[in-house]
Structure 1
Amino acid sequence: MMQVKSPKKLIEVALPLDDINAAAAREKSIRHGHPSTLHLWWARRPLAAARAVLFAQLVNDPGYQRELGYGVNKKEAEIKREKLFQIIRDLVLWENTNNEEVLGRAREAIWESWRETCHLNRNHPQAKELFDPERLPAFHDPFAGGGAIPLEAQRLGLESYASDLNPVAVMINKAMIEIPPRFAGQAPVGPLPEGEKQAKLVDDWSGARGLAEDVRRYGHWMREQAFKRIGHLYPKVTITPELIAGRQDLKPYENEELTVIAWLWARTVKSPNPAFSDVEVPLVRSFMLSTKKGKEAWVEPVIEGDSYRFEVRLGKQPVGGIVGTVERSGATCIMSQTAMTFKYVRSEGKAGRMGVRLMAIVAEGNRSRVYLSPTEEMERLAEKAEPVWKPEHTLPVNPRDFKTPNYGLNTFGDLFTPRQLVALTTFSDLVQEARERAFTGAKAAGVPDDGIGLADGGSGATAYGDAIGVYLGFASSRLADRSSTVCTWDSHKSAEKIRNAFGRQAVPMTWDFAEGNCMTESSGGFTVQVEYIAKSIERLPCFLNGFAEQLDAGSQRLSVAKLVSTDPPYYDNIGYADLSDYFYVWIRRSLRSVYPELFGTMAVPKAEELVATPYRHGGKEEAESFFLDGMTRAIHNLAEQAHPAFPVSIYYAFKQSETKEGSTTSTGWVTFLEAVIRAGFSIDGTWPMRTELANRMIGSGTNALASSIVLICRKRLSSADTISRRDFQRQLREEMPEALETMIGGESGQSPIAPVDLAQASIGPGMAIFSQYSAVLNQDGTNMGVHDALILINRAITDYLSPDSGAFDADTQFCSSWFEQYGWSTGQFGEADVLARAKGISVQGVADAGVLESGKKKVRLLRWEEYAEDWDPTTDNRTPIWEACHQMIRSLNNQGEAAAGALLAKMPEKGEPIRQLAYHLYTLCERKKWAEEARAYNELIASWHRVVAASHEVGHSGTQSGLDF
């Protein structure tokens, strides 16, 4: 069969990685309008990263024309590449998410590359099917999860397909890419809430604005109806003279009724001390209510004989006061100070003897929270709630992520108070009523009704009612995330609100918890959830169709002839199916009538979920085997089906990563790479995507690895040969230096990859060599595994960066070897003398260079802070790269990038060696866990692009030479 002519894509050559990572990290703080606020999903990829990866995956690298003999020289290719980089820099900014000018430039570049590719393949036998210059290929993500990647593919102009085995994930994707385009440009049909003026956007219902407005309107109706039915369970609190006694802060509210925001509860168990065996003592993590300066508040347990009560106190908690009753080692009885082990607490919980007691009330004051002591009336009122239904589905036996079964909370229903169950069932049931009202409203507004529902592809009044129901069902599900007994109170000065249940990917055991008032406008209120969803809908792209289906990645056929980018499960990191049941039980109650097939099962399907969970598969080895086989099958599907003109991008997130001797590895990482290669892919690149840290890339004393790695894969040729271990090592020696030089910024024109990311990024070119062959054979004839290949790849990186490789002067080689042994500490002159003679120099010569202190039979390298501030490389007759590198660090840290650039302009020929030495020294410091030293080298590289730009502005003659950026 005729081979497809596939130009290298930009992502296979270079990326402006720093810009992408900075935007992805910043995006973590964006809430209002972000698609993640539509509904919670764990480990969702940042939009910035997804958008950049897809764009770079679609556009041709300008260098391909030179490779095909088109006459484009290296410099011209770099200029064109920089233009694509600038599109990416603009594209990843949150402010430009819906900027049509920026998106237009991106789409134009995508179309230009696509037509070039179609032209190259115009004589291919499948040209009509695969290379239609008037139609872009569609996109597919077979592990769609939270939907960030399909959404961004749609935004870039591709018809987008998403599939997942998890029905919650499928619903999220439908809500993001499938539903909005069906109702784009439609005006709202619901009545305005009473007293509300006509919306300002009345003349502009473009995109999904009308849909979003109706979600608000019918969400408001739901809240009003819920209040009529269960509002008596959420009474206001009257500030009586009795409450004011001793509380001057309450004086302004005398006889006023304040809205309760939350009730704060403590779990209790019987005291283990026989003298207080009838007393239910509190289990409290912290008695602090507010840490805001000048408005501190806390709860004091006041003991009176053989009982106690809770009183709210203002001001700072006295030194020696009870911080809480539960610590990491166990709990303490407040009545007798008797220790209560967790074993005891668990036994009480499993025996059904764990109770709750109201600890404090949080009310809404005049622009601040008002904390009140509990009342018996409030406690009795909560006990009156009588739920008619609760989710009886059993929590999984997963000791890592689900802690509540250890304490007798065994079902999902056990995670909610009776009042929370009443509220959640009420709102879930109201979704159906709101759906019917939206259907009626749509018909009255003149929307044609074909009688076809949303699940069957409808786009009329019936489907519109279903669509409103979907988003309001999500609002009810979002409410569950703020309405359970694993939600705690955040007393931090900038918060003072209810934390959601899923602060991380687990259902934790909480001791004290916050029960929110779902009728309010606070974080625990229903209308707040509706508003988050509406703002998210407004920003969704609506101009192209999208489709989301429930499919197994191992057997799906949706990927045929499509661009593929995906974010699959990461070994054993997250048990999505188990966690999703928390929401599934509520979404199913709301939306089963809309999507009967999707919600046909009582719980989320789990048997085929590709997660290496030992408790589900009978042990660690069995779980690893299940993951490897299943992931291989799923990725093989992609290798066989994906459009041959494009590489496939696959995300992998690190969890328990280790960095040893400069190598990055983990069981999950190795197993994942094995699956990718076994599936028939060769790996052409690995890009570290950092989403957690915006500035400093290394924590104190820790290795701060990238959040995820994006693997760039091409289908391995069926004619791929085998190679010996010796030849593999030879190829690493020959090809890795050029690839590493490109990565650190010497050739491609890209911003350099920071040293902290180099170990991960450089796996790409190494694995590209390894994975292009059908096998690498060891001396005994066995196939080399990924783990051994990674060891050799990392060794090649170390060899390239080492000053002993011959690329550095003898002074620098001496300093590097001495630094590796002693750091900045003092060593014996005799040892230094032997080392210097081996390098063909003398200790005195190194001291004369100004980088070493020698005397009294002791030798010590000077720290960068000790270097001369008036140093001028143009007048220094002995300037080792070691000195130049540390002078650059001194100048950067003391005076900034402009000064460092001016210094570099005086020694442009030393730019590349300085940068390479900084990479080497960072790697060395990281291995030795010298965090502070590592930071200096990392920050020099992180600033390198701007330092070089500053050096070009100096205007000295010759400053351009040797400074690639």
Structure 2
Amino acid sequence: MISFIEKQFPVSKISKESYKERKANNGQTLTGLGKWWGRKPLVLVRATILGCLMPASDNPKRDIDIFLKIMSMDHKGLELRKEKSFSASEMYEIANKNTKLQPHIDEWFDLTEGKVTLTRGVDKKEVELKVFNTLGYDEKLRKCIRPEQLKNLDDQTWDEINHHLGTSADNLQDLMKQLSMKRYGKNVVIGDCFCGGGSIPFEAARMGCDTYAGDLNPVAGLLTWAGINILGADEKKLTEIKRYQEDIFDKVDKEITKLGIEHNEKGERAVSYLYCVEAHCPECSKKVPLSPSWVIGKGTKTVAKLVENDNGYDLLVKMNASSIEMKEAEKTGTVGKGGVLCPSCGKSTPISSLRKDRKDNNGNTTYGLRQWEKSEVDFRVDDIYTERLYAIKYEKNDGKRYYRHPNLRDLENEKKAKQIVVENIVAWQKQGLVPSMEIEMGIKTIEVMRNRGWTHWHHLFNARQLLSIGKFVEAIDQQEDKQLRVVGLLGLNKCVDWNSRLCRWHPGVGNEKSEQTFYNQAFNTLMNFGNRSLLGLKTSWFYDINSYLTNKDNAIIKLSDAREVSNNCHFWITDPPYADAINYHELSEFFLAWDKKLLLQTFPEWYTDSKRILAVKGDDHFSQSMIDIYSNLTKHMDDDGMQVVMFTHSDPAVWAQLALIMWKSGLKVTAAWNIATETESGGLKDGNYVKGTVLLVLRKQTEDSMAYLDEINGDIKAGVKEQIESMQTLDDKEDPNFSDPDYVLAAYAASLKVLTSYKKIGELDLDYELDLAINNPDNSQVVKIIENAKRIAYDCIIPNNLDHYLWKDLTHAERFYIKGLEGEKHGNYQISTYQEYARGFSISSYGELMANEKANTARLKTPTEFAMRTVSDNPDFEKSILRIILAAIHIAIKEDGIPEKGLFHIKNQAIDYWGSRDMIKQLLLFIKDTKDIENMPHWAESAAMADVLYVLVDNDHI
């Protein structure tokens, strides 16, 4: 039985829904449970599972209609999901731009005294729905809840779904069970051996499927178990959970209050503590407090001022600072890219020199900082670095908050907190209340060893943090109920993430607080950091838990090596570590150091280390590890089963590597789809970090046929053309689902479908090809086949209204620009699209052609933005007929709108003006068509001039 996902997939809508879910940040369903890196959007998982289970019929147009209905992405589904209302002025603005609604403006709206209101007696809901239904998909989404938040579809929609699929369901869970019975005679089992943050198992369980979730990492196991069992708790249990959270917090609060270390002389409670590192200037020996900025709060206008004394500096906190003082605090930071800047002598010292790093005889760097001992909790007085409390945020009894520098009482509190921890640290470590685990050297963990000399995980927390978080561990330890203990573990990990020495202080307006440790995929040691008091930890300990119906009774969560999975599944849906993989094993040890005792008591069958040695890494063994894993999954899959592998779309060489891995694992490609969910850069990458997830759909290779390369080249060409033509036939011209990169991706998949349909290709040694794809892709036959498929694809996706023979005559750079402009006409501003065009048309540099390269707002320069500047990084474009036309439009606009001057430029610059008139006219028409496109107002002037120039060229005769 062929599945829907093997024939078609609504790429555009799922991309937009995935992006909406991602932008919800903490409003996402699973993120509230705890930190994990790289969770896939739940809507993408839902669509993937449904796409695998839903059969493809002989009516593809009806299939897509039904699929969108089930996903609530159709016309009616969006109406049901609409939650936010329109204001009268919003509706008026939309109606005024829409020719179908303009006749109703006088009927619906009252414009008395310049204020827009609805006419008395008009049904607001009716008008609002009519306005809503004129919007494009993106605009509608702004007013809608996410598909997962919709309780159910309406009866009429279920009638249509059931009629097409031969079912009798009235909810999603029931539909999945009925489709499962039709196909397998039992409920479908969804497996994920890299469950990570739990997106795939959770959504599968929420859809009513049986699930198997496996991962090497205990933190991944904990989050996945919690997603299915805590979010799947009933209302009675949820009430118990909330009461448990309150009881634990109250207990810890009483103990901290009794110690008296967070209250000042007025009985006011601290909210935050600000610390900085100090070091002696090597030039003048002054002890310098280190921070990139001394701004504490932009909203409260709070700064710390450096006041020099005999040995170093006093730090005085001032609120309501003047704008001059704020600027001075921003500029007088004592550490930056150049290292430490001493405000006394003005000399700069590189950090590596300050740490006394040096090279040994072999040229290897030896780090100069003293390595801390297991029982230590603070810097020693003779260390290169020491630590200093320089500001405290307090809350008054009336709820108002203020900052001050520490006085004698504050310093006594600080001394007491340190003393308590120093006296008890050894005992607490033995009892498992605070970490005792050593930091193992790794790609990421080397940072804390090199930059601070920290050797054990508890060194990443100061005395106050160890004391308060340790109290939570002690309280959770007394709970015997498994679900409640997991709730406690999740709360503990959130407190750990938001209260370590790696937590940045955020001075933003209305948001003056310390941030989480893992704002990216690294351990970032800081010169100054924020410490949350117990009052400040409230938002970490208390987290929202919403109740969802999950098939938790038929969910298996195991800690296991994917190479040793023994459970059978109908569909394996996996998001494996790939290429520049996140170092999950190292990052998660930050949490495991705290979780060890509680995890073993809660899950006695689990272990508590990250299994670094077994983790799949992007090293020389990566390919073989992946082959071993996917060969094992293939063994534990029905002959009629399927696999979907999610990975980040890169280039043909990466495609070839993955395809060869799957081929050697006994799998064949049946389809591939690209879901683009772009967000602005975050984490470690500079510039734009574009998220594009490819779904590679695979089935078990059950045939034993063989072919030769020269025999299948024709099949590949035919397969690529057939695939693209079928997608173009299905596409909605008014609301396109596929962009050009999707067609190229389909071409890749079509070529791999042909290749992997054979057990063996006569001339190809798969091991040798895999090595070439990784180390020498230019000589890989498989890479060449995929590259050729791309060229075939680009020959098939010629812009509308452009003649085939003229398209052939354009340079690669001109094609890049024209396809980019065509994408903009359809509202496509994704930088990933331009990256794909650059690869497809072999453009190495295109920055000078772009007005904007940011994610989701990328676009090309207009003629007036180009002006007469030279496009130096792309000589093919600079010398092209298109560049001459763009310059002509600019000249005509600049010269008081005289189009004849533009025509003169074209005739003067074109090498063969009369022989190029057809090309010139088509390009002018193409540019003219940007006129009156709502999302392209920046092209209006150029489009109007292109229209006039077209008439001049068309009427120009010898």
TM-score, normalising length: structure 2:
0.69
Q: Give the structure 1 partner of residue 679 of structure 2.
A: 693
Q: Does 1:555 align with 2:564?
A: yes
What secondary structure does 1:506 align onto? coil
Aligned 8 A contact 2:12 2:675 in 1: no
Q: Give the structure 1 partner of residue 409 of structure 2.
A: 377
Q: Distance in 2 between matches of 1:852 and 1:803?
A: 33
What secondary structure does 1:607 align onto? helix
Aligned 8 A contact 1:360 1:372 in 2: yes
Q: Give the structure 2 partner of residue 772 of structure 1.
A: 757
The AA in structure 1 aligned to 2:473 is: S
Q: Give the structure 2 partner of residue 287 of structure 1.
A: 294
Q: Give the structure 1 partner of residue 251 of structure 2.
A: 225
Q: Assess, with a 3 A threshold, how the Cα gap between structure 1 residues 361 and 98 changes in structure 2: closer, same or farther.
A: same
Q: Distance in 2 between matches of 1:112 and 1:639?
A: 34
1:414-438: CA deviations, max 9, x gaps? 10101211222211110022x14xx
The AA in structure 2 aligned to 1:312 is: V
Question: Which residue, out of 297, 302, 306, partners 1:301?
Answer: 306
Question: How far apart are 1:500 and its partner, in Å?
Answer: 0.6
Q: Give the structure 1 partner of residue 706 of structure 2.
A: 721
Q: Assess, with a 3 A threshold, how the Cα gap between structure 1 residues 540 and 81 changes in structure 2: closer, same or farther.
A: closer
What secondary structure does 1:12 align onto? helix
Question: Which residue, out of 7, 13, 25, partners 1:19?
Answer: 13
The AA in structure 2 aligned to 1:607 is: I
What secondary structure does 2:931 align onto? helix
Question: Which residue, out of 596, 599, 614, partners 1:591?
Answer: 599
Q: How does 1:20-419 map to 2 (within 5 A)?
A: 20-30=14-24, 31-32=26-27, 34-62=29-57, 66=58, 83=69, 94-102=145-153, 135-178=186-229, 184=233, 208-232=234-258, 235=261, 257-273=267-283, 275-276=284-285, 279-292=286-299, 295-313=300-318, 314-316=321-323, 317=325, 319=327, 322-347=331-356, 349-350=369-370, 353=383, 354-364=385-395, 369-385=401-417, 386=421, 387=425, 388-389=428-429, 390-400=434-444, 402-406=446-450, 407-419=452-464
Q: Distance in 1 between matches of 2:16 and 2:243?
A: 37
1:2-61: CA deviations, max 9, x gaps? xxxx22x12112222222122212222332462221121111111111111111121112
Question: Which residue, out of 492, 495, 508, partners 1:476?
Answer: 492
Aligned 8 A contact 2:502 2:523 in 1: yes
Aligned 8 A contact 1:849 1:878 in 2: no
Q: How does 1:503-514 map to 2 (within 5 A)?
A: 503-514=519-530
Q: Distance in 2 between matches of 1:546 and 1:852?
A: 71
Q: Assess, with a 3 A threshold, how the Cα gap between structure 1 residues 672 and 688 changes in structure 2: closer, same or farther.
A: same
Q: Does 1:891 align with 2:891?
A: no
What secondary structure does 1:892 align onto? coil
1:295-325: CA deviations, max 9, x gaps? 3222221112433111123233455554422
Q: Give the structure 2 partner of residue 683 of structure 1.
A: 669
What secondary structure does 2:704 align onto? coil
Question: How far apart are 1:290 and its partner, in Å?
Answer: 2.1
Q: Give the structure 1 partner of residue 517 of structure 2.
A: 501
Q: Give the structure 2 partner of residue 734 of structure 1.
A: 718
Greater RCO, 1 or 2 (C-alpha within 8 Å, sep 6+): 1
Aligned 8 A contact 1:215 1:530 in 2: no
Q: Give the structure 2 partner of residue 528 of structure 1.
A: 539
The AA in structure 2 aligned to 1:590 is: L
Aligned 8 A contact 1:154 1:546 in 2: yes
Q: Distance in 1 between matches of 2:602 and 2:160?
A: 40
The AA in structure 2 aligned to 1:364 is: E
Q: Assess, with a 3 A threshold, how the Cα gap between structure 1 residues 84 and 297 changes in structure 2: closer, same or farther.
A: same
Q: How does 1:915-926 map to 2 (within 5 A)?
A: none
The AA in structure 2 aligned to 1:586 is: W
Q: Assess, with a 3 A threshold, how the Cα gap between structure 1 residues 800 and 41 changes in structure 2: closer, same or farther.
A: closer
Q: Assess, with a 3 A threshold, how the Cα gap between structure 1 residues 221 and 855 changes in structure 2: closer, same or farther.
A: closer
1:826-884: CA deviations, max 9, x gaps? 899xx99x999xxxxxx9xxx9999976456313999xxxxxxxxxxxxx999965444
Aligned 8 A contact 2:669 2:756 in 1: yes
Q: Distance in 2 between matches of 1:604 and 1:104?
A: 48
Q: Distance in 2 between matches of 1:567 and 1:325?
A: 43
Q: How does 1:599-618 map to 2 (within 5 A)?
A: 599=607, 601=608, 603-612=609-618
Q: Distance in 2 between matches of 1:597 and 1:77?
A: 45
1:746-802: CA deviations, max 9, x gaps? 558884333455555543223222222234455999965555324432333234424
Q: Distance in 2 between matches of 1:740 and 1:335?
A: 68
Q: Give the structure 2 partner of residue 808 of structure 1.
A: 803
Q: Distance in 2 between matches of 1:742 and 1:712?
A: 18
Question: How far apart are 1:233 and its partner, in Å?
Answer: 5.3
Q: Give the structure 2 partner of residue 651 of structure 1.
A: 646
What secondary structure does 1:536 align onto? coil
What secondary structure does 1:49 align onto? helix
Question: Which residue, out of 586, 604, 610, partners 1:578?
Answer: 586
Q: Distance in 1 between matches of 2:513 and 2:199?
A: 28
Q: Distance in 2 between matches of 1:683 and 1:375?
A: 68
Aligned 8 A contact 2:668 2:700 in 1: yes
Q: How does 1:810-889 map to 2 (within 5 A)?
A: 810-811=805-806, 813-814=808-809, 819=814, 854-855=905-906, 857-859=908-910, 882-889=923-930
Q: Which runs of 5+ in 2 are unaligned?
A: 82-140, 168-179, 357-367, 372-379, 818-848, 850-862, 882-887, 893-898, 945-958
Question: How far apart are 1:287 and its partner, in Å?
Answer: 1.7
What secondary structure does 1:263 align onto? strand
Q: Assess, with a 3 A threshold, how the Cα gap between structure 1 residues 536 and 770 changes in structure 2: closer, same or farther.
A: farther
Q: Distance in 2 between matches of 1:747 and 1:646?
A: 28
Q: Assess, with a 3 A threshold, how the Cα gap between structure 1 residues 138 and 568 changes in structure 2: closer, same or farther.
A: same
What secondary structure does 1:261 align onto? strand
Q: Distance in 1 between matches of 2:317 and 2:196?
A: 44
What secondary structure does 1:773 align onto? coil
Q: Assess, with a 3 A threshold, how the Cα gap between structure 1 residues 495 and 267 changes in structure 2: closer, same or farther.
A: same
Aligned 8 A contact 2:444 2:586 in 1: no
Deviates more, 1:18-27 or 1:328-337: 328-337
1:261-320: CA deviations, max 9, x gaps? 1101001223213x42xx43222132222233xx32222211124331111232334555
Aligned 8 A contact 1:147 1:173 in 2: yes
What secondary structure does 1:349 align onto? coil
Q: Assess, with a 3 A threshold, how the Cα gap between structure 1 residues 860 and 305 changes in structure 2: closer, same or farther.
A: farther
Q: Distance in 1 between matches of 2:412 and 2:29?
A: 40
What secondary structure does 2:191 align onto? strand
Root-mean-square deviation (Å): 4.4
Q: Does 1:545 align with 2:554?
A: yes
Aligned 8 A contact 1:363 1:371 in 2: yes
Q: Assess, with a 3 A threshold, how the Cα gap between structure 1 residues 175 and 721 changes in structure 2: closer, same or farther.
A: same
Q: Distance in 1 between matches of 2:732 and 2:815?
A: 31
1:662-685: CA deviations, max 9, x gaps? x5555xx65443322211111222
Count of residue pairs brought into register by the alignment: 743
Q: Assess, with a 3 A threshold, how the Cα gap between structure 1 residues 18 and 591 changes in structure 2: closer, same or farther.
A: same
Q: Does 1:708 align with 2:693?
A: yes
Q: Which runs of 5+ in 1 are unaligned?
A: 1-5, 67-71, 117-128, 185-207, 240-255, 437-464, 613-622, 658-662, 837-842, 863-875, 904-965
Question: How far apart are 1:811 and its partner, in Å?
Answer: 4.8
Question: How far apart are 1:480 and its partner, in Å?
Answer: 0.6
Question: How far apart are 1:515 and its partner, in Å?
Answer: 0.8
1:152-194: CA deviations, max 9, x gaps? 111112122211121111121211224665xx5xxxxxxxxxx
Identity of paired residues, percent?
Answer: 19
Q: Does 1:10 align with 2:21?
A: no
Q: Distance in 1 between matches of 2:602 and 2:334?
A: 47
